[in-house]
Structure 1
Amino acid sequence: MAMSRDPIKMLLLFILLFLSSLTHVSAQEPDEAVETASDGVIAPSGQFSLTLRQLGYDIRTFSQNNNSRIYRIDLPGNFEILPTGNYVNLITSHAPEVPDKPAYLSVEVNNRVLSTTELTPTNAVSNTTRVDLPEGLLRAGSNSMRVRLNIAVSCEDPPSVLNLSLSEDSFISFNYQQKPYVTDLALYPFPFTERSLLRTPVTIVLPDQPTSTDLSAAATVAAGLGVMSGNSIDISAVLASDITPDIRTNHHLIVIGQPDKNILLQDALELPLPIDSTTIQPGQGILQEIISPWNEYRLMLIVSGLDSEGVLKAGYALNRQANFLGMRGPIAIIVELLPLAKPDQLSAVSTTLAALGYSDEVAYGASGQEYDFGFSLPIGWQLEELPFFVLKFSHSDILDPAQSIIDVKLNNRPIGSTLLEKSNANNGELPLSLPQHLLKTGWNQLRVGVAMSLPSNNPCQDRNDERAWTMINSQSEIFLPYSSIDLPPNLNLLPYPFSQNGSFDQSLIVLPDQPDQTIYNDLIKLAAKMAGSSKPEYISVQTAYASEVDKAMRAKYHLILLGRPTENGLLQEVNGYLPQPFVPETDLLEPLAVDTIAFLPDPTRDAGLIQIATSPWNENYNILAVTGTTDNGFSLGLQALLNQTGNLKGNLAVVEPSFDPAGQGSGHIQTYAIDTRPPTLPEQEANITGAPASENDLSLLAKRWWK
């Protein structure tokens, strides 16, 4: 082979291959007119080009065992892709120069094969392949491109040594025309949560003097969008009089408030329905979507009413799922909102793979195959009885029972297996206990593996033989009886306990009475983040100014206190209960020896603090104080809370700017966290009473539950 005949030549080729991964050398560059903006602001029409790097992908090496990759290309929903001038440029290199086996590079877009290129010495180094995209193939919304290395090798052959490198400078280019988004509330939360190569920011526009009701409505909308976007939304808030030309023109806008309170609603907007006493009644909420008068490719959502009750109803309605004559078109008037039943803290006794969203899976051929199924356990789960998984399956009755097997792993640890034999070919069941020590808070994974063999025992011939099949039934059951228990609050468990059991309505966010205007933006970002795993329909964020929080409210909620102590009167009242209190009526920290030494506080030092304490008004509730010694310190604390990098733990975190040894600011933060509470014995996450059961007892118990 060429590799053995000319080792020096092969060494040079490998060096060139490495250099090509560092430098883009291409015979064809994107056209000069191509746009590469990705900040959400582009021309109404033109040619758009994005590299794989801009799409979030790095250089990729393909081989026989790693021969395929799918690239997602998410285009904005208001894009119309023009019929011509659309193509993909792939920049590749491969080694050895002469492949040891015939090999081809294929490209599929939206499951359609567009190109198959043989790998030869002429295209071994920094080769550019242009693949034209047919009319109508690329579309608004989600697209996929699969690049596959096909090597002509049989299972008897030794493995191929061929490697192919696909540069991250490869790009896709297309002609587009923007068009206005459809104003239809039935599509909500689209386009506000749209995931595309253009991330359009969303700004909530508040009245210049927002009431706590306005803030509750705005925070509820933000929290719902945070959950529905998977916390990927770029959302902020601004007062109506502070809106900038850039925000007004380039952002999607959500306008909150009564028409006589928010000056943006007095800005001669052409609403489909005027907001006055001729169209709605007091206490009713109204939602309206319109095309922005400042940019026809942006939307405005109006959340309003004639009074505070109506505004709040409109905000809450956006998170509700109404199947009976739900929202449709650009207008919705909310007459009444019924309270929802609280989410059940005790889980259902059993569920099926189908109920978790999975379908039947069928494995064909004699090669080994694996299928994953996931389920979640909440913070504070506690088992009430022995958990089981009953795998239901069927398979071909011509398999070799001595060489065919199905097995199950829980979180990558084996928990059981059985042979595929004639006795379980129809309606086979494999009951397995789910070991308590393998279950964990959050995502858990069941992996079912299938390995089949035919009596011919010819792996190459039987590899794709569909006479060998096994079906994993989606009616397979998981018996997992657990309840949720209250755990001691801890910064590393946030947003628990302020958001738990699928709901956020047990918490009250308290702002200073005369806040800095930036705190409204902080509130919106915090609400979007803290909603966590809440179910959208159960999100109702409560906010209040400090002077509005009476004794009954203090004892009714978890309290999230924002601002410096001298700004937030309620923070001053709980100061003595905080792990790190402040000097009364100041923003200076008390000189406490939190770890091993205490220093006299520096009044000019920026320090943010995140603290958890038991509420002095109700021991069943807690306080989360996000505060600081200065305005910048408060911002640092909020930044650490929003980012949640894993440095938060215990009941106290101090956040400061991070500086390099040369004294130059790095723009980063450093966090020191500690638990000042007395140590306690570790609490077990789960508890099952009774003596350990034998495997035979477990099988009998499983049959009792599943039959």
Structure 2
Amino acid sequence: MNKTWKRPITRSVIPVLVFLIFTGGLVFTSPAVVAATLPPPTPTMAGTILPKLAPTPRPTTGPTPTRYPTLSNFNEYTDNVKLHLSQLDYSELVLDFPEAVEFYVRLPDQWQVKATSSFTMHYTLYDQVEDSQLLGGYYAFDPPAVRIYVNDFMAATFNPVSGKDQYYTFDIPLQVTDRVNSNPSNEFSFRFEFVDEHDFYCGYVGLLTMHEDSFFNVNYDFMLPTLDLSRFPNPISQNSSLSEIIYFIVPDNFNGSDLSAAATTASIITKSTVSFATYKLVRESDRLGIPNKANIVVIGPPSRNAFLRDVLYRRSGTGIGMPSSLVSGNKIYVKSADRMLADNEGLIQLMPSIMDPHYSYMIVTGNSDESVQLAAKGLSSPPIGQVGAGYIVGSNFKIPPFELNNIITLKSLGYRSTTYYGAGTNIINIPFYIPRNWRMEEGTALILKYRNSDNLDEINSGLALYINDQPAGFVKIDVKRTGEKEVTIPINKGDIRSGWLNILRIEATSDMLKACLYNPRAFMINVQDTSLLLLPHSIITDPKELSKIVHPIFYMGTNPSIYVSMPKNPTTKDLDMLMSFTSLFGGLRLPTIDFHVGLKGEEDLTEMTGYNVLVIGRPSTNGLLDTINEYLPQKFVDQTDALEQMVGNVAYQVPPGVSLGVMEVITSPFDPTMGLTLVSGTNDEGQRFVYDRLVQNPLNLVELEGDLVFFGNKTVKALTTFEGVPVALDIASSSVTGTQVALQAVPTGGVNATQTDKTEVPKYVSTVTVENPVSQMLGKYLLIGLIASGSFILLLAVIRTARGGRRS
């Protein structure tokens, strides 16, 4: 009896004490320590969202990987570059025998790779023999060979050496450097196969880890550009895995038309390239600050752009010039067409840079402001077939309309039919936008079309479908029938969000019937781009029934027209903000955006029906804020750049000297079917916080979910004000290291916008630091909660112990 009576003490009290110690119930830890015990946030998707393979995470082995700096812009290299796996966003590649892995890189368009290029593997191999009967057979030979292919050409095969920190270098096959016949896009796909089909390797166990400091050693010649606009975005963009800066030269007295053309052009370039491009807008008088080695877009009519008129056109007779010339009155004569350019026509031209002929100018021009904007829009549908260095955009050209129907193919969403070889899971992410005025109906589904080899394990091989991380269904691979198969997977209509960037994820898993004799090319699943996404819906006609806007960017995904309200005298940072937004829209693969930029800051937008609105600036710089301030979830104090520091009925205090950036989104006061996004701040520094965050690569846009987003120097806090406002507010400034922040109580339900009577509530003062104020405040609240819950559990355990803790 005594033993059975004592046993509950060890089984209940001691674990409770251990729990309390580790959770802080009996030890008073610092707020930072408590905050560190919070679970990490759910992984979110990067800003530039493209369908890409995401390999299944694996444990790593070997030495600690060395992180390498981000790749420089392509024009900072001369004739050689070492591209490490880590710089190409690949972690260690692990091959668990028998297995194959791949990685991909796209080099700048004008780089002609030399035959002296190579790849160096830094690897670690741990291996052993499981089957003692095959021990002698295995040691009679080397470990299984690694076969290496580049663009499906055999590059090398070798037997790896067991142990840590081994190296192997192989040359790049000459065939894959042929830009005319085999590799016109300068893409390189490396495939490593750690397999063997001999029986005596059935008892072999090997884990080969290729470390992320393995590198592609590229020796190249920098070729002159091909001046043909049918190859757009080349040569103005190199369309590669390396980053690049593209400069825009606008007239000194630029107007809204110039900025509209620049914004539209930048968005289309980003949408058309895989490069991470940064755009810099420069006045013509400041052009000498542009590096000689740079690709440049020139915007504006010759009558107002002196650089175009007095510099570029004057060189037309030197053999470096454009396919057009100027006549009296600064009118444009098109040589190839042998006629004058009409005032309602636009013109796109290419020419070599006058500073370095290895770089290019793209001129977006016309005889009038309207024709310049038309020329920019014309880039959305570049000509098919070789057209040379210039083409005319007709007066009747319109940006192709964006239409999302009830039934759409995966191909129309940017996916291309792909075959996945070998065992494992391949992940396909396909983004698509749903308009705010759609009400999803029953019958939403994916008709998935696929093909597969007949040697897969039918039990473990299959296709899984997710919508916005919510599982929709799983189907097993049918190995009994050959040819193309079709299966319908129903989708819960509630998992699709209106006015949002939805993500359709397909996970294709293939398993082998034979794990010993393995040729990865013999096992495959092919997912067809003719698969159909069924989106039955009805149209919401009453603006009051539209879904609320809960993200400052995603709702713009289905409307190709955006009106941008800029400060009357925009600063360089204001212009950078405009260009960063255009790049962002292009990188999200939004429909081609037709930007309309206004500079007065006091526009009458009542006639801007059908436009989403982007407002850049502060009350002191953009007069439009006086009109929209009353509608904002976070208002500004009248006639100042200071925030009211009251969201709904929740107050906070921003200490003197602390800068805040802010993004807010509301239903447009000028069209209830559209939205309005504000990019602002309490000063120049605060507004720069927003810009700095939006140009990060990769950019996590999901963290901006909310109608009110605060930006600090190192922190971002997004709030959904109509769902209730949290107390904690991130505050950060380069000049503040700690401060007192007064906070009022948090409402438990939604904020009632019509409430007039305010109840005074006691204030709580929290000491926070700049680095991570939210974690510290949450840490204190969590500590109190853990102490209370731990004490309650301890009390229950003691009561149970006192009663004997017997089991029936």
Instruction: Give the TM-score, by structure 1 length.
Output: 0.74
**1:360-408: per-residue Cα shift (whole Å, max 9, x none)?**
97999xx999897967462545333423555678999x999x9889865
Does the 8 Å CA contact 2:641/2:683 hold for their aligned counterparts? yes
SS for the counterpart of 1:224 is helix
Q: After superposition, where does 1:466-545 map in structure 2 within 5 Å?
A: 478-483=533-538, 487-490=546-549, 492-497=550-555, 499-501=556-558, 503-505=559-561, 507-530=562-585, 533=588, 538-545=592-599
Does the 8 Å CA contact 1:90/1:170 hold for their aligned counterparts? yes
Structure 2 match to 1:589: 643
CA distance in 1, matches of 2:76, 2:435: 44
Structure 2 match to 1:71: 103
Structure 2 match to 1:138: 177
Structure 2 residue identity aligned to 1:145: F
1:443 equivalenced with 2:503 (yes/no): yes
Structure 1 position 86, deviation (Å): 2.8
Does the 8 Å CA contact 2:229/2:383 hold for their aligned counterparts? no
Structure 1 position 621, deviation (Å): 3.5
Structure 1 position 188, deviation (Å): 0.9
Structure 1 position 479, deviation (Å): 3.9
Does the 8 Å CA contact 1:107/1:113 hold for their aligned counterparts? yes
CA distance in 2, matches of 1:313, 1:282: 11
CA distance in 2, matches of 1:61, 1:321: 42
1:387 equivalenced with 2:444 (yes/no): yes
Structure 1 match to 2:348: 287
SS for the counterpart of 2:240 is coil
- Considering only aligned residues, what root-mean-square deviation do their CA atoms show, in Å? 4.6
Does the 8 Å CA contact 1:319/1:539 hold for their aligned counterparts? no
Does the 8 Å CA contact 2:146/2:195 hold for their aligned counterparts? yes
CA distance in 1, matches of 2:227, 2:189: 27
**Match 1:333 to one of 389, 392, 414:** 392
Residues 665, 143 of structure 1: alpha-carbon distance in 2 compared, 3 angstrom cutoff: farther
Does the 8 Å CA contact 2:103/2:189 hold for their aligned counterparts? yes
CA distance in 2, matches of 1:362, 1:644: 28
Structure 1 position 557, deviation (Å): 3.2
Q: After superposition, where does 1:391-470 map in structure 2 within 5 Å?
A: 409-411=464-466, 414-415=473-474, 433-436=490-493, 442-446=502-506
Residues 97, 663 of structure 1: alpha-carbon distance in 2 compared, 3 angstrom cutoff: farther
1:651 equivalenced with 2:707 (yes/no): yes
CA distance in 2, matches of 1:395, 1:89: 34
Does the 8 Å CA contact 2:347/2:375 hold for their aligned counterparts? yes
CA distance in 1, matches of 2:523, 2:210: 36
Structure 1 match to 2:231: 187
1:52 equivalenced with 2:52 (yes/no): no
Structure 2 match to 1:118: 159
1:201 equivalenced with 2:245 (yes/no): yes
**1:173-223: per-residue Cα shift (whole Å, max 9, x none)?**
343221211111111112344343543311111111111111111111112
Residues 189, 391 of structure 1: alpha-carbon distance in 2 compared, 3 angstrom cutoff: closer
**Match 1:41 to one of 71, 75, 82:** 75
Structure 1 match to 2:629: 575
Structure 1 match to 2:677: 624
Does the 8 Å CA contact 1:200/1:252 hold for their aligned counterparts? no
Does the 8 Å CA contact 1:291/1:300 hold for their aligned counterparts? yes
Does the 8 Å CA contact 1:404/1:452 hold for their aligned counterparts? no
Does the 8 Å CA contact 2:609/2:671 hold for their aligned counterparts? yes
Q: Which runs of 5+ in 2 are unaligned?
A: 1-59, 180-185, 334-340, 716-729, 738-742, 754-808
Q: Which structure has more helix as a fraction of its residues?
A: 2
Structure 1 position 294, deviation (Å): 0.8
SS for the counterpart of 1:525 is helix
Q: Count how many residue pairs are aligned between Structure 1 and Structure 2.
A: 621
Structure 2 match to 1:106: 147
Structure 2 match to 1:608: 661
**Match 1:562 to one of 612, 616, 636:** 616
Does the 8 Å CA contact 2:278/2:583 hold for their aligned counterparts? no
Structure 2 match to 1:237: 281
Structure 2 residue identity aligned to 1:656: G
SS for the counterpart of 2:646 is coil
**Match 1:308 to one of 369, 380, 388:** 369
Structure 2 residue identity aligned to 1:631: D
Structure ranking higher on relative contact order (CA contacts 8 Å, 6+ apart): 2
SS for the counterpart of 1:582 is coil
Structure 1 position 679, deviation (Å): 7.0
CA distance in 2, matches of 1:525, 1:399: 49
Residues 647, 94 of structure 1: alpha-carbon distance in 2 compared, 3 angstrom cutoff: closer
CA distance in 1, matches of 2:411, 2:690: 42
Does the 8 Å CA contact 1:285/1:314 hold for their aligned counterparts? yes
Structure 1 position 73, deviation (Å): 3.4
Q: Which runs of 5+ in 1 are unaligned?
A: 1-16, 25-35, 454-458, 681-707
Residues 548, 484 of structure 1: alpha-carbon distance in 2 compared, 3 angstrom cutoff: same
Residues 420, 157 of structure 1: alpha-carbon distance in 2 compared, 3 angstrom cutoff: closer
Structure 1 position 526, deviation (Å): 1.5
What is the identity percentage for the equivalent residue pairs of Structure 1 and Structure 2? 21
Structure 1 position 634, deviation (Å): 1.8
**Match 1:277 to one of 326, 331, 341:** 331
Structure 1 position 573, deviation (Å): 2.3
CA distance in 2, matches of 1:82, 1:231: 22
CA distance in 2, matches of 1:196, 1:493: 30
Residues 385, 208 of structure 1: alpha-carbon distance in 2 compared, 3 angstrom cutoff: same
Q: After superposition, where does 1:171-182 map in structure 2 within 5 Å?
A: 171-182=215-226
